[in-house]
Structure 1
Amino acid sequence: FCAVLSVCVLLLLLPQAVLSRWACVRSCPPSCSCTPEKNCSVLCDRSSMAELPKEFPCEASAINLDKNSLKFLSERAFGTLPSLKSLSLDHNNISFITPGAFKGLSNLVELRMAHNEYISYLHTRTFTGLKKLVRLDVSNCNLFNIPDRIFIEQTALKQLLCYQNNFRRIPGSIRGMENLTHVYLERNKIEAVAYNSLLGLGNLRYLNLQDNRINVIHADAFKDLVSLENFYLNDNLLSELPRLAFKGLRHLKMLNLGGNQLTNVSKLWFSDLVELEVLYLDRNQLVFIEEGTFENMTSLITLHLNSNNLTTLPLPVFQPIYFLGRLYLFKNPWECDCALEWLKEWMENYKLVRDVTCSSPSSVAGLDLGKVLNLTTNSSEIISTTENRFNSLISKLLQQELREEMGNGTESLRNGTLQEEAPLSARVQTLRGPSLTIFTSMWLVFGCFAMLDAPLSVLHT
C-alpha cells in the first residue's frame, strides 16, 4: 500500500508536461512511433497499414498516416482527439469516406488527403465537425466535382488545394467563403470562368488556374477579387480577354497570361494594375500591343514578351515603363530597322536585355539586334567617306573646266578663284555640254558604289 501511495504522490508532483509525454508514449499504436516533443506527434507513415489503428493517444497533436494502404474511413474513424491539429493521409488507396468520419476532431486545423487516386466523390457531410479547419488538401485525387454545400461548417477555411483533379468548372462550394486566401485549381479540366464562379472571395490573395482548358472568361468574373496578389492563368486556351477583365485588381503583384493564344494586347486590360510587379505575356501569338498598354503600370519590374510573333516594339508602346528591371524579348521574329534603335540604346545603357535576334531583313537574319545597329552606324561612315572623295574629284573637274573657259588673264584667275570658293551646288551650275554629261554619269556611278558598299540593313533603313 505504501508503495502504491508513493507512486501516486510522485505522479501528482510531476509537471503536467512530463505526464503528457509519458501518456503519449505509453498509448502509442503498434507499428507507429510517438514523439513527445511538440505535444505528441504520432508517426505511422510507411507502415503498410490496411486499416487504421483502433486508438490513438488522446494527447496527440499531429498524426501522419502517409504512404500506407488505407482504403476506407468509417464514421468517427479516429475517435475523439481534442488536441489534434494536423492529420495527414497522403498517398493511400482511400476510395470512400463515410459522412462524419472526422467527427471528434473538433480542433483540427490541417487535413491532407492528397494523392488518393480512388477518391472520386465527396459527400456533402464529409467534413462535418471540422469547424476550425484552416487548410484542406485534396489534390492529385480523381474528383470530378465537390458538392456546393460541403464547406458550410468550414467558415475558417483559408487554403484549399484541389489541383490535378478532373473539375470541368470551378467548384461552386467556394463561393462566398470570405476567409479563403489561397485556392489551387491548376491542372484540372476547367473550361470557363463564369460571372459567379468566384463571387464573395474578397480576401483571396492567391488564385491558380494554370494548365486548364479555359477559353472563356466572363466580363465580371474577377470583380470581387479585390485583394488578389498572385494570379495564374497561364497555359490555357485564351484567344481574347474581356476589355475590363482585371478592373479593380489594384493589389495584384503578379499576373501570368503566358502560354495562351492571345494575338493582341488591349491598353484597357491592365489599366487598374498600379501595383503589378511581374507580367507574363510569353508563349502567346502576339503581333500587336496597343499604345498606352503599360502607362499605368508604374510598379512593373519584369515583363515577359518572349516567344511571340512580334516584329517591332515602337517606343510609344514601351516608353512609360522605361525603368523596367527585366525585359524578355527572345524568340520573336524581330524586324531590325530604325524603329528599334531606341531598344539598342536601352540595351547598351542598362545591360538588362539580351538575345534579341533579328529575323529580317534577310541580310541580317540571325544577328543580334545590337550588332546590326552598330553595322548601320559604320555603314553611314562608309557612305560619308565615299561622298567626300567624290566631292574632291568633282572639285578638280570644275577647276579644270574653269581654266579652259576663262584663259590665263588676271581677271579670269580672280573669277576662277571666286568660283572655286563657291559652294559645290553653285559650281555645278557652271557645267554644261559634255562636262555636265560627265558629271551626271560620275555621280550615278559613285552613288551606286556607295550603295553597294553599304549593307542591305542600311538601305532598308
Structure 2
Amino acid sequence: MARTYPFQEPATMKLLVFTLFCFMACALGCRFVPRDCPEQCECSPCLPEIRCNGENVTDFNFIQSLSWVFIFAAVNTSIPELQQGTIALPNMPYLRHLELSSNGIHILTEQVSTTNYTRLSVMILSDNRLSVVPSPMMRLAPNLAYIDLSGNMITVIHSDVFTFNNDLNVILLADNGLQTIEEKAFAGVTELRTLNLSYNSIMGTNLGNWEEFHASIETVSLSGNGLRQMPTLNPNYKFSCKYLSLEHNHFEALDKFALAAFENLTLLNVENNFLSTVDGDLFGEGTHDLVMLYLSRNHLTSVPVSLLARLPKLLNLSLSFNRIATLPSKAFLQNNRLRWIQLDHNMITIVHAMSLNGLDNILHFNIQHNLLTGLPETFLKGRYEFDLILKDNMWSCDCIMKSLQEWFLTNAIENDVQCQIPAEYQGQNVTDVNFEEICEKEEESTATKEIPTNPVLRINIPYSLIGGGVVVLLILIVAAVSFRRKLRTQTDRDTPLCKKELDAENSSNKQFSN
C-alpha cells in the first residue's frame, strides 16, 4: 500500500490550491477585476465589491450593468431617490450580498431593481425608516438566506410577508418598536435557524406560527420586550431551539412547564428580570440537557436547588446580583459537570460545610461581594486548586479561618481576602495573618474564664444571698412593728394612773392654800 503524505489529503490539497490562488492574485495586482467603478464609490482591488459610504454620496452615476459585482454596499448616504425607493439599482446578475443600511429609506418596491437577484443570499436594510417588511423587493431574491431589518420602524409583521423566501435562515428584526406578529407571519419559512425579535414592544403572547420552523430553529432572542410570561406556542410541536434569550423583560416567575417545548435547549438567558421563583419542573418532570443557565440581576432569595437537580449536564451557572442569603448543603449535588458558578453580589451570610458537594469539576467559584464572616472549617476539605473568589466580604479572622489560609498556601493560589475584624488585622490579607498567635490567644481566653461545674449554682448562689437579705429585712420590720405596738399599749395603760395622781396633787394643794 502506497504511503500517503499529509499534503496529499483532500482538505490539505484544497488549502494549498487556495493559498496558491491568493498568491497569484496578489502577484498580478488583482488585475482580473474590471475597473468600471461608479463615481463617489470605492471598489476593492482584489474583490468583486463596490462600496459607497458617506453623506457626500448624493447619487450613484451607475452604468447600466455591473456584471462582475458580487458585493454592493451603499451605507449612510444622502440620496433622496434611494430614501423614497424610486432609484433603480444597476443590473448586477451575480450579486450575492446587498447592503443598504443607514440611508433613511422609507420604502422599497420593485422599482429598485429591473431584474431578479436569483443569486442574492444576504440583504442588510438595518437602521432605516421602513415601516413594513419590504416583501415586494424580497420577492426579487427568491434564494435569500439572510435578512437584517433591525433598527427600523416596523410595528406589525403581516401574514405571508416571507412567503417567497422559503430558504431564509436568519431574520433580524431587533429594535423596531414591533408590537404585533400576525398568526401566519412566518408562513413558508421552514428553514429558519435564527430569529431575533429583541428590544421591541411585544407585550402579548402571540408570536405567530413558529411551528413552520420548529424543526430547524436554533437561536431565538426575545430580550427587552416587557414580557411577563412565555408566549403561547403550539403544544403539539417540540422546538429544536438551542439558544433562548429572555433577558431585560418583566418576568416575575418561571412557571411549571413554561419551557417544556424546548427539549433541545442548551443555553437559557433570563438575566435582568424580576424573577423571585423558578419552578423545578420548568422543562418538564424529567431531566434536561441544559448546559448554560444565566439568572443574574433578578430578585431570587434562594438557590433554585429543585431546578438544578434536573440539570445534570449544566456547565455554567450565573446567579449574581440577586438576594440570596444562604448557600444550602448539597445544593449542587446533581451537577458534577458544573465548572463555572457566579454567586457574587448577593446577601449570603451562611455557607454550609457541604455546599460544594457534587462539584467534582469546578474551575471557577465566585462568591465575592456578599456578607460572609467566615467559612466552615471543612468547606474546602479534599478540594484541590480552583479559582475561588472571596474578596469584599466581612471576614472575621479567627482561628477557624486558619483552614482557609492553609488551603490558599497549599495550592499556591493568589487571593484578595482581607480581614475586617478584629481591628488589629483589618485590611490584612488572610495569607499574611499569624493564625498561630490568634489560636493561642483564643485558647488562653477560654482557659481563664470561670466555668462552674454546676451552672445551677452559678444562678442560685447570688439569688440565695439576695433572698436571705430580704428575710432578715422582713424580720427586722416585723420586730419594729411589734415593739411599736407594745410601746403604744404600755402608754395607754399608764395614762389613767398619771391622771389620778395629778388630780390628787392638785386637790391637796388647794387644801393647803385654804
TM-score (norm: length of structure 1): 0.71
* CA separation of 1:164 and 1:269: change in aligned 2, threshold 3 A: same
The structural deviation recorded for 1:312 is 0.8
CA contact (8 A) 1:159 1:180 kept: yes
Q: Aligned to 1:344, what secondary structure does the other structure show?
A: helix
Distance in 1 separating the partners of 2:196 and 2:264: 19
| Aligned with 2:187 (options 103, 128, 131) | 128
Distance 1:133 1:80 in 2: 19
Partner of 2:369, secondary structure, is coil
Residues 234 and 260, structure 1, Cα contact 8 Å, conserved in 2 = yes
Alignment of 1:354-433 (within 5 A): 354-373=415-434, 376=437
Partner residue in 2 for 1:236: 298
Q: Which of 182, 199, 217 lines up with 1:140 in the alignment?
A: 199
What are the superposed Cα offsets for residues 126-170 of structure 1, whole Å, 9 maximum, x if unpaired?
211111111011112122134165312112111001112211112
Contact 1:230 1:254 in 2 (8 A): yes
Q: Distance in 1 between matches of 2:107 and 2:287?
A: 43
Partner of 2:256: 195
The residue aligned with 1:22 is 67
Aligned residues between the structures: 360
2:148 corresponding residue in structure 1: 88
Could you tell me which runs of 5 or more consecutive residues in structure 1 were left unpaired when the two chains were aligned: 1-19, 384-461
Deviation at 1:181, TM superposition (A): 0.3
Out of 240, 251, 266, which is 1:179 matched to?
Answer: 240
> 1:220-243 deviations in whole A, cap 9, x for unaligned?
124566221111011100112454
Going from structure 1 to structure 2, the CA distance change for 1:149 and 1:49 (only over 3 Å counts) comes to closer
Which residue of the partner structure matches residue 310 of structure 1? Answer: 372
What is the match of residue 327 of structure 2?
265
Retained in 1: the 8 A contact 2:330–2:358?
no
Q: Return the alpha-carbon distance in structure 2 between the equivalents of residues 241 and 378 of structure 1.
A: 34
- Aligned residues of 2:166 and 2:189 also touching (Cα < 8 A): yes
- Aligned-partner residue type, residue 123 of structure 1: E
Match of 1:44 in 2: 100
Q: Distance in 1 between matches of 2:66 and 2:336?
A: 53
Sort the Cα spacing of 1:184 and 1:26 in 2 relative to 1 into closer, same or farther, 3 A: closer
1:206/1:372 Cα in 2 relative to 1: closer, same or farther (>3 Å)? same
Shift of 1:27: 11
CA distance in structure 1 between the partners assigned to 2:242 and 2:384 by the alignment: 32
| Inter-partner Cα distance in structure 2 for 1:124 and 1:353 | 57
CA–CA separation in structure 1 for the residues paired with 2:341 and 2:91: 47
Cα offsets for 1:199-222 (capped at 9, x unmatched): 032211111001111011223124
Contact 1:186 1:211 in 2 (8 A): yes
What is the one-letter code of the residue matched to 2:200? C
Shift of 1:23: 8.9
Change (3 A) 1:318 1:64: same
Q: Is the 8 A contact 1:34 1:41 kept in 2?
A: no
1:390-439 C-alpha deviation (Å, 9 max, x unpaired)? xxxxxxxxxxxxxxxxxxxxxxxxxxxxxxxxxxxxxxxxxxxxxxxxxx
The residue number in structure 2 matching 1:329 is: 390
Aligned to 2:509: none
Q: Is the contact made by 1:75 and 1:100 (CA closer than 8 Å) also made in structure 2? A: no
| Amino acid paired to 1:278 | W
* Alpha-carbon distance between aligned partners in 1 of 2:246 and 2:365, rounded to the nearest angstrom: 25
What CA RMSD, in Å, does the superposition of the two structures yield over aligned residues? 3.1
Q: How many angstroms apart in 1 are the aligned matches of 2:317 and 2:91? A: 44
The residue type paired with residue 155 of structure 2 is S
Q: TM-score, normalised by structure 2?
A: 0.64
Q: 1:174 and 1:286, CA in 2 relative to 1: closer, same or farther beyond 3 A? A: farther
Q: Between Structure 1 and Structure 2, whose CA radius of gyration is higher?
A: 2
TM-superposed CA distance for 1:75, in Å, is 6.0
TM-superposition CA deviations, 1:16-58 (whole Å, max 9, x none): xxxx993977999947699888x61112112221101425523
Question: Do residues 301 (structure 1) and 346 (structure 2) align?
Answer: no
1:317 aligned counterpart, secondary structure: coil
One-letter amino acid of the counterpart of residue 81, structure 1:
A
User: Aligned partners of 2:278, 2:90: CA distance in 1, in Å?
Assistant: 50
What is the aligned-residue identity percentage? 21
Q: Which has the higher contact order (CA 8 A, sep 6+)?
A: 1
1:255 maps to 2:255: no
Partner in structure 2 of residue 393 of structure 1 = none
After superposition, the C-alpha distances for 1:292-313 in whole angstroms (9 at most, x for unaligned) are 2212110101000101111111
Unaligned runs of at least 5 residues, structure 2: 1-64, 74-84, 445-514
User: Contact (CA 8 Å) 1:328, 1:353: kept in 2 or not?
Assistant: no
2:266 is matched by which residue type in structure 1? R
